[in-house]
Amino acid sequence: MSSELAEIICGMGVGAVGMVIMFFCYRQDRKGAESRLTKLLEEDQASRRHNTKALTELVTLMTRLNGHET
């Protein structure tokens, strides 16, 4: 943040300084939430791929054991 901007904000009073601090905290929190959500979605997709593969193998095994498709 430039010194001119800091002077302007400080000149506006305590409320403006508080709002700037809240804004930066909120922005940092949103970035963290986005990265956590991205990680969660990637893990979910990997789990779905693994479960789909296991289910496909199970269907193939059951088909071979029963000798026909259901």
Confidence of residue 61 (pLDDT cuts 50, 70, 90): very high
pLDDT at 49 over 90: yes
10-35 pLDDT tens trace: 889 899 889 989 999 999 988 889 99
Supply the pTM of this predicted model.
Answer: 0.57
Nearest to 2 by CA among 19, 18, 20: 20
Number of structural domains found in the chain: 1
Arithmetic mean of pLDDT over the chain: 90
The full DSSP string for 49-62 is HHHHHHHHHHHHHH
- Collapsed DSSP state (helix, strand, coil) of residue 27: helix
Q: At 7, is the pLDDT very low, low, confident or very high (cuts 50, 70, 90)?
A: confident
Tell me: pLDDT of 1 over 70: no
Secondary structure (DSSP) of 1-49: --HHHHHHHHHT-HHHHHHHHHHHHHHHHHHHHHHHHHHHHHHHHHHHH
Segments forming the whole domain that contains residue 35: 3-66
